Chain A
Amino acid sequence: MEVIVTIERRKSPVESSYIETFRVDLPDSANVIMILMEIRKKPINIKGEKVSPVAFECSCLEEVCGACTMNINGRARQACSTLLRDLGGKINLAPLRKFPVIRDLIVDRRKIFDALKRVKAWIPIDGTYGMGPGPKVPEKVQRIGYKLARCMSCGICMEACPQVNDRSNFIGPAVIAQTYLFNLHPTGAMIEEDRLETLLEDGGIGECGNAQNCVKVCPKGVPLTYALGKLNRDTLIYSIKRLLDT
């Protein structure tokens, strides 16, 4: 099928964006990544001008790494798992809006990883030397934990969240859900209070406006609002306890 692809491009972070349109012919089973790969093989726009290939990030191409996340026809999703047959003949591509653009469709999502550091999203093990098996985990905890642990830090939930914007420091739904994951684990829970403390700070869970967009757009079905709800309760209990202890 023939598709007309309009791409919001940018040469570097300091330059302003511009629109460029391409015509590509691909089978309808192709994904959006294939469009960008075709453009590399023949970087000529619809006006017949030779242009630079469109820069984009991709890696796994099967929706587990999160690299190729972008806005496709106004909705943030992974370009690898978005197929042409679901899009029609006119396609708009643009970089994610909630992150600084590096070039064309590539954005800098470092703030997600920085936030993971802030909430201590890890299990504080003593070391890697052999200490025997870990704590027993009930199957029902594993089931919910596994769902949370599939978050690939792609940023789609932040893109959809009205509370993530220039005027707030909100760390976003993904990182908050990870906080819950680590509090769920028997060893992770040993520093639960550190994490709850962080969530009560500026940019923490108090910023959530309960719009619930996040859970609707998450490509991996991570139970984001479930985790947010649980942590709302946990932070509340923790802050009351903290008040009583002082």
Chain B
Amino acid sequence: MSCEIIIIGGGLAGLSATISACEKNLKVKLFSVLPVKRSHSVCAQGGINASVNSKGEGDSPYIHFYETIYGGDFLANQPPVKAMCENAPNIIYLLDRMGVMFNRTPEGFLDFRRFGGTKYHRTAFAGATTGQQILYALDEQVRRFEANGLVEKYEGWEFLRAVIDNKGVCRGIIAGNINNLDINYFPADAVIIATGGIGMIFGKSTNSYICNGSAQSVLYQQGVKYANGEFIQVHPTAIAGLDKLRLISESVRGEGGRIWTYKDGKKWYFLEEKYPSYGNLVPRDIASREIFKVCVEMGLGIDGKNQVYLDVTHIDRKTLEYKLGGVLEIYQKFTGEDPYSKPMKVFPAVHYTMGGLWVDFKQMTNIPGLFAVGECEYQYHGANRLGANSLLSCIHAGLSVGDNVLNYISSLSERCEDIPLKIFESEKSLVVSKFEQYKRLNGAENPYLLHQELGEIMTENVTVVRYNERVLATINKIKEIRERLNNVNILDSSDFGNQTLFFVNQLYNMIELALVIAKGAYLRNESRGSHYKPEYPHRDDQNFLKTTIALYDKEEPVITYEDVDLSILKPVERKYQ
């Protein structure tokens, strides 16, 4: 008998999972709010890590593993990270076979560039649009399975709820069509969540508009553990914008770009001065803190604003065009300035969610039958992700999950068709009545303005530098916003393509996850990776070398801690001098 599974999300993780499931002959229903080819993975620029050691530097997957754990300040469970780094060369070769147009050496081999947190040339790249190129290759493979009838796409459908039976097993989902507002149930033997990051909770970030974490939040509210929520990566180099903060890839520094500002009238290369051996390629959390310090504390930002220079003007134009064209084009288009002749102005921006849905080493959450892969789960990056490890973790988890799902399904005594339909019906009516309630909202608040308020306070207080007093005030403010959300106006009475309806639902969910982030940050009285508290400036392994676990409660999350698997490497102090 053929088994059907559901995958939510069509980025690198979701598409890799789809491919691995199809190879096991599992039929896949693939849900995505947009056509999968437009997923956020297209924004990944710099590259994907694999220790192929093609430059004869003595690199190896073990060193990659060590640097990933070290870069993540020892917060990641070690065995899955080791497996990922060992699998990385295979993944690069596979992508190459799929036709990804990676940059080449003159002899026709794959080229590799440098990235942060390492001294090796370990990052394969396709210009400066690597994520887009890899996503397209996976999209094409999935289209092939679609043509063979193994994949059925539900593009323009949003995940709204998991169906969990009375034994606590996931049996399918409730989803809504964002155009005709049809809300329906979809039974399945397993569900894989691959819904990416949560940048929208911070209002403006480098993330796409669709990265709101709504799916993760719904699951958390249904009892799925959420891990390490407070670990949010702030990328050091982005361009300010009114609608979003556009990423300027770390690969710009990997290819020789330099960060500087003026001090006493002279150019000051502060990263190179303070971190002589890694220079501009210190990990992102460190670079962001230093830029923050220079601008906010010392007031040395360019033109008195919160910005420093990222300079590539010393590199020849042809090299820049071939290796960084895509990202320099973005800078030029949005600022109107020429990065080839004038240094770029950049500032840190919320970029990546290290935390996420808790999963075991087989990518399964604490709800049997519910799996998670990609940025929406917490497993591979600890307290800080190294650049170019995100594409890798998405694809590694996605490609390995097919096997795990098949094993899980074979162990089931009851299949989804044995589950009484009334369970699905009642879960569906829960969601339907919630949406009916939203339609009646006719208060005074505008949901989009409320979201803006949430984003501003989160960015102000729960990003690079965190003070307990301000984080606590933020928690109270989030709760106030949650109250005010009951007084919003739905703005649109239409039964077709009503975007506000879905947005209000997303906003409810963003608020719950904001509380997870803020409370996790409040309780973690130490500094580790991306989480930095001036009041507690050091890492405290004795009390906090632990995974934060948030469980949903109506008022605010209940936080507990779990041990980290340190079975391979012994924690040492992290420094990049």
Known: A34-B243, A52-B492, A62-B334. A149 touches B101 (CB 8 A): yes
Question: Which of A114-122, A159-167, A234-242 contacts its partner?
Answer: A114-122
Q: B140 in the interface, Cβ–Cβ < 8 Å?
A: yes
Q: Which of A80, A104, A138 contacts B497 (CB 8 A)?
A: A104
Q: A217 in the interface, Cβ–Cβ < 8 Å?
A: no
Please give the distance in Å from A139's CB to the nearest CB on chain B: 4
Question: Which of B142-150, B254-262, B288-296, B469-477 contacts its partner?
Answer: B142-150
Question: Which of A40-48, A202-210, A223-231 contacts its partner?
Answer: A40-48
Majority secondary structure, A binding face: loop
CB contacts under 8 Å to A, within B241-258, are 241-244, 246-247
Whether B143 pairs with A52 at a CB distance below 8 angstroms is no
Task: List, in ascending order, chain B residues with CB within 8 A of A150's CB.
Answer: 129, 132-133, 326
CB contacts under 8 Å to A, within B106-125, are 106-110
Complex alpha-carbon distance, A159 and B150, angstroms: 32
Complex alpha-carbon distance, A64 and B129, angstroms: 9
Whether B101 pairs with A67 at a CB distance below 8 angstroms is no
Whether A128 pairs with B399 at a CB distance below 8 angstroms is yes
Task: List, in ascending order, chain B residues with CB within 8 A of A149's CB.
Answer: 101, 126, 133, 136
Q: B315 in the interface, Cβ–Cβ < 8 Å?
A: no
Whether B132 pairs with A103 at a CB distance below 8 angstroms is no
Task: Scan B313-355; emit 1 where CB is below 8 A from any A CB, else 0.
Answer: 0000000001000100010011010000000000000000000
Complex alpha-carbon distance, A177 and B158, angstroms: 32
Complex alpha-carbon distance, A100 and B424, angstroms: 33
Please give the distance in Å from B145's CB to the nearest CB on chain A: 10
A13 (CB) vs chain B CBs: closest residue: B496
Task: Scan A29-70; emit 1 where CB is below 8 A from any B CB, else 0.
Answer: 111011001001111000000001101011111111111000
Complex alpha-carbon distance, A62 and B494, angstroms: 30
Task: List, in ascending order, chain B residues with CB within 8 A of A244's CB.
Answer: none
| Size class of the A contact interface (CB-based, 8 Å) | 35 or more
Whether A52 pairs with B494 at a CB distance below 8 angstroms is yes
Whether A102 pairs with B179 at a CB distance below 8 angstroms is yes
Known: A117-B146, A149-B133, A149-B136. A62 touches B96 (CB 8 A): no
Q: A153 in the interface, Cβ–Cβ < 8 Å?
A: yes
Task: List, in ascending order, chain A residues with CB within 8 A of B132's CB.
Answer: 64, 150, 152
Task: List, in ascending order, chain B residues with CB within 8 A of A52's CB.
Answer: 491-494, 498, 500
Q: A137 in the interface, Cβ–Cβ < 8 Å?
A: yes
- Which residues of chain B have a CB within 8 Å of any CB of chain A? 19-20, 23, 34-35, 37-40, 42-43, 90, 93-94, 96-99, 101-110, 126-127, 129, 132-133, 136-137, 140-141, 143-144, 146-147, 155, 179, 208-210, 241-244, 246-247, 322, 326, 330, 333-334, 336, 399, 446, 448-449, 452, 491-494, 496-500
